[in-house]
Structures are given as C-alpha cells and as structure tokens.
Structure 1
C-alpha cells in the first residue's frame, strides 16, 4: 500500500476513535440547548461542540499556544474546578474557574513558576508510570498552585498516551475524586492523544509531500540542464542577444523549480515555468519542436500542486519527442469543466508501452516516466483517487495525459 494511503487510512481510524470517545463522554454532561430535547442530546451536543473547539487548538499537536486555548474547553467538558495540561517535562496550560486578583509582573512570574513546579510534582508519577493517579491536595499545594477555591480537594492525573509513549498528562482538579471523574478524565486524555496522533499524521503527510516535491526537483534532468547550457553557449558568438535571453530564461526556470516555499501554485505560474522550459528546448530542437497552446483564461487562477505540470511536459519532450524522427508536435490545453479545471498534455512521439506504464505507476519499477508516477501519487494524495492522471498511449501512437483539479480548494494557498 502506498505511503499516502497508509497515512489516510490511519488518519480515518484515529478520527473514528476520537469521535467514539467524545460521544461516550457526552452522556456524562448536560447543558441547556433549546433545539435539543433530551438531556442526552443536549449533553452530546455540548461535548461535541467543546471537542471541536479544543480539537482546532490542538491541530498542531501538544504545544503551549494551542494547549492554553484548548484547556478552557477541556475543563468545561470535565466540569472541574481547574485543569492543567503537561507534556513530558513542562506545564503547557492552566485553566481555573476561580477568579484571580491581578499581581505585579514579578509576583505573577514567581507564581507561574511555583504552579508549574507543583503541577509537575503531581504529574510525575503518571508521566513516569503511565497510570492514572489520584492525589489529595493540602493547603501548601493549593497555595503553590495559586488556587483560591478551598473546596478543591483532589486532582486526577491521567496519562496522554500515543502508541507506547506517554507524551503528557491531563490533570483535573476537583472537589471529590469520584469514579466517574476518573473515567471522564481518562477519556479526555485519550481524546487529546487522538488529536496528537492526527497532528503527527498531518506532519507525516506534509513531509511526504515535501519529499515527493524534492524527488520531482531531482528529476529535472541533468541531461536537460547540460543541453540547455550547450544551446546557450552555441549562441554566444553568433547571437549574443539570444544567448543573454536564454540565460535569463534558464535562471527564471531554475529559480521557480527550486523555490522553497509552498506546496501549491497557480496554473498560470506553472504555465510560465513551462513556457521557459520550452523556450530552452526550442533553442536546441529548432523547428523540430512545434508547440500548440489552448488555454482558457478562466482557469488560470486555479490552484494546483507545485511542479505537477512541468514533469508531464518534460516527459513528453524527453521520452516522447526526442526519440522521434522529424518534427514533433506538443499540445498543451487547459479547459473549464464547470467545477473542474482540466489540463491535457498531448504529444505525437514514440508513445509508451501500457504494461510498462502500469508497472511504473504502481511503483513496481523505476526508470523512465517515474515523474508521471510522482505526479499521479501527489494528485491522488491531495484530491483523492478519482483525480489521478488519465493516460492514453501506445507504442508509436503518441501520449495523451489528462489531469483534473477542483477550481475551488479551500485551505490550499498558492
């Protein structure tokens, strides 16, 4: 199974487990909501709402800024007097229901230090042993925590466990450490762990996409670079102005191809990169390379994965037309298909053996056309299996490659 499929399958499993935990916890809580009838419906709605809020703050994992914002929602889920979140060695967040009087900056800093030390002392056994612990709070501990509510009598410390690792703890400060509170705190800790797993899967997905882009950059053929530089050199004496123009185009092409920011670009930007690439190739091929562009202006702003078209054009020139005798024709078309933008790359070159192509796309062999596999995998990873490349080819019959992407892509910024 491809890495992207494994990541998506694992993410789906974590989401389902997370929802199951949240719904189970929902039946423990109750809050008025006019359009929901029963206590169970109101409790489930409230818990799911709080989980959504907290989950949004934990999308980057267990880090201080997000944890601080999530702690308030988690405390409301547990109906406890105060709640703390820690990682393996730090207090990340503290939220308490009792009001606190303002204090000078130096006093506030000392209080935060005392509270962090006190919370970590209470969490130490849970972090090291991985088991839920209930501790009684004395007056000295309450003072160190800076808690003004004398009715808080105990704390339930539940481990946040990701796979076999304890990565932090949820500490619920309560008036009475009932069995229900212990179970609820454990469920919240398990839910937080699920959010951390989702964040890690998201990070893995991002790293996978970055690795695939690096692979595509590495496939920008040294053969192409060598030939481009030779073509530029051939014009230095005979046509210096043309040589200078080609140097600028070569610099712009490499600058775009090796840029370090963003996983997405626009169709217009990718086509500009392709224009520079083809200008350099035409300097070498001369009249043997004929290019036809049919671009609908309304799709130029469509967002597409970075370096998803250029490898298709390079594949057509390098593997389709270079080996063909005589004039080769390349047609690039971009069409508006309602909610979709459709782009096709067609050449009348030597074509590809379908069995060889299937083996390459399935990852069973490397060599020629591996750029097609990487683009196909990225499209499926970003948009789903229905958006993979459609390739029509046969030996001696040329190649037609078609890709479709949604015109509306919230969350994908070029």
Structure 2
C-alpha cells in the first residue's frame, strides 16, 4: 500500500504542480483555507479521493461496486473517460466515448494472457469524438488478471500511462483485501461449523433422556426443559451473523446450564455475577458457551462430590472482563499449551483452541484466552472483550434478562 501511495503521488502530484490537464483545476479541500503548499493540498485531495473509492472496491469487483468507485478513480487520473472491466465485459464507463467499449473488449484477451498493460490509438469514425488514445492496465489478484482499468484521453501521454498503472495497482490491492475478507468470512463460518460439530452428541442424548424422565413425574418441568433445549439448539445453529451480544450468549449459557443441572442435580452448582452495563457488548458468536461446557466437563470429570462453576462479567473501562472458573480436575500446563496449539484433539478441551483463534483474529493476539490451571487445581479462563471494535457488530436478537443464578 505504501508503495502504491508513493507511486501515485509521483505520478499525480507533478500533474497538479505543472498544470498538466489544461482547463482542469482540482478543488481545494474545504476547511483548509489558504494553509499549506499546492503539493500539500494535492496530497490531501488525492488521499481523500482514494478514500472515497476504496469502500466499494473492498466488496469485490461487480457492476455495482465498479459503478460506485469509477467516478473517484477518474478524478484521481483527471482523464476524459474511464472504464472498469471484468475478464470479459465492461462493468461501468464514466465519461465520454462509451461507444469504444467493443474495441476495448477486443484488447482484454491479450491482457489476460500477458498480464501486462498496453497503450494504443483508438480507431473512431465519429469526427466529433475527442478520444483518440487509451491506456489499459490489468487488475490482478493472486497474480491472476481479474479485469482491467481503461483510461481514455485526447492524446498520447507517458504520464497517464504511469498514473493509470499506479491506480490499477491500488485497485488491485483493494480487490486482494476484498478477497482476504471473503476468505476470513469463510474461515470463521468453517470454524463455527466445526464448533457446532463438537457439541457433544452425548449432551443431546442425555438432555432428551432427562426430559423424557420428567414427562410422567413432572410434566411441567419436562415442558420447561424441552423449551430450554429447543431455544438453546436454535441459538447454537442459527445461520445469521458472525457476532452476538454478551446478553444473548449468557442467555444461551443459562439454558445450557438448566439442562445440565436437570441431569446432575445437586452435584453441580453455578453462580453468576453479571454487570448489566456489559450486556450489550458484541463478541464472536459461540465464544463463551464452549468455555462453560469445558468447565462442566472438567468440573464433573472424576469427581464424586460437588462441582462449582462461577461466571462473572465485569465492566473494566474500555473492556468487558469475563471470567469462567471451575474447581475441577484441572490440567497440566504443557497439555493446555498443546491443546491451544491444535496439537491435541478437540475432545481434550472442548472448543478452547477454536475460541482462542477466533478471539485473536477479531481483536488481535493481545486478546487471546488467559488460562490458569494445574492438575487438581481447577481452571480459570479470562476473556477480555473490547467494548468497541471496528467491524464487530452483533446481529439483531434478544437483549434478554440477566441470567439467573443456579
């Protein structure tokens, strides 16, 4: 990206300083007054124009995104006409000379084959057409030509060739970022599917068995648990949104614990301390529930006496601090390291590595799971959730009451 900006300034700023485009004057950005040099004004205007063209391109190369980006790209180049193409068709044309589309398309095959741009004289039978020259620059993603940027002008210009190439490289960077965004989305979806697949079949079977055991002895209790089970599975397998709210995630945890508590009775006790002000905080979907499931599994595993799990969510300034702690069998720190590194199967630590990876992807490495454990000492998991993170927005859903203490 830095290389592009340097190249674009090298191409664009001399045009402004020397008045290359006769009769064209770049508007001075509002609010700057007479401060700064012409080059500084041109730099600001270039960055501002590029920033307006970038968002549509981050959604990929389509007729709609090309249409919304082309005006800004044409402003960057200051050319009479500009078009964007995919591999076989003109997606949008801005300016005069759209009747040259067919000739432009004839050049695309060679551009796709060579991966190199070219400049050529336009053939035109219209005496009133002022466009006589065009520059075609390829748009590439992963070294494959996905389309082209075509700038048309009245006369030949070596500066336009260079400037068009730099702008095309910048557009290619935006398209590569769009491709990375799509890959990231597919990865998150795959990880959520993997996490759903880890929801223990034994949990489903045991929950239904417990519900069945209450059908004759306590029908009202059976009905309540059946509704809890249906709501929990509906939330776990929902198809919309990568993010949810802390309120929704805790509500699902409350339903999960109701089913576990019905099975284990007095063997399991749970306390929750939830600060109401952190309930709207957005977080990755199915981020906390696997940690609670892990606490239940390791809290009850190999124990004949009572197991206790505590869940707290506190306001910590710019973050929400969530702590899940159990008094179970614990784990060797080295084994935990191997689980988080993906070297041990998921059954060893339900969803731990999955959740840790997703937190780091969304918030950065500084927000991975913090886990304190030792053999026989239980486990304490701390999650730090920034209250405000660009791109993190929960899907519409219930705000839910504060989960009840069990």
TM-score normalised by L of structure 1: 0.87
Q: Which runs of 5+ in 1 are unaligned?
A: 1-14, 99-111
Deviation at 1:21, TM superposition (A): 4.0
Q: Quick check: 1:360–1:370 contact (8 Å CA) kept in 2?
A: no
**What residue number does 2:292 align with?**
313
Structure 1 residues 197-217: Cα deviation after superposition (integer angstroms, max 9, x where no partner): 010011111111111111111
Among 345, 354, 360, which residue is 1:374 paired with?
354
RMSD: 1.9
Are 1:66 and 2:93 matched, yes or no? no
Structure 1 residues 98-150: Cα deviation after superposition (integer angstroms, max 9, x where no partner): 9xxxxxxxxxxxxx7x654343124443234322222222333x59xxxx6x3
**What residue number does 2:13 align with?**
27
Are 1:126 and 2:111 matched, yes or no? yes
Q: Quick check: 1:51–1:73 contact (8 Å CA) kept in 2?
A: yes
Paired residues for 1:262-411 under 5 Å: 262-366=241-345, 367-411=347-391
**What residue number does 2:140 align with?**
161
**What residue number does 1:75 align with?**
74
Paired residues for 1:153-192 under 5 Å: 153-192=132-171
Structure 2 vs 1, CA of residues 324 and 36 (structure 1 numbering), >3 Å: closer, same or farther? farther
Q: Say which SS state the counterpart of residue 348 (structure 2) adopts.
A: coil
Structure 1 residues 289-332: Cα deviation after superposition (integer angstroms, max 9, x where no partner): 10101111111111111100100000000123233221111101
Q: Quick check: 2:363–2:389 contact (8 Å CA) kept in 1?
A: no
Deviation at 1:50, TM superposition (A): 1.5
**What residue number does 1:54 align with?**
53
Q: Quick check: 1:156–1:177 contact (8 Å CA) kept in 2?
A: no
Distance 2:10 2:156 in 1: 19
Paired residues for 1:105-254 under 5 Å: 116-140=101-125, 150-254=129-233
Structure 2 vs 1, CA of residues 264 and 316 (structure 1 numbering), >3 Å: closer, same or farther? same
Q: Say which SS state the counterpart of residue 48 (structure 2) adopts.
A: helix
Deviation at 1:35, TM superposition (A): 5.0
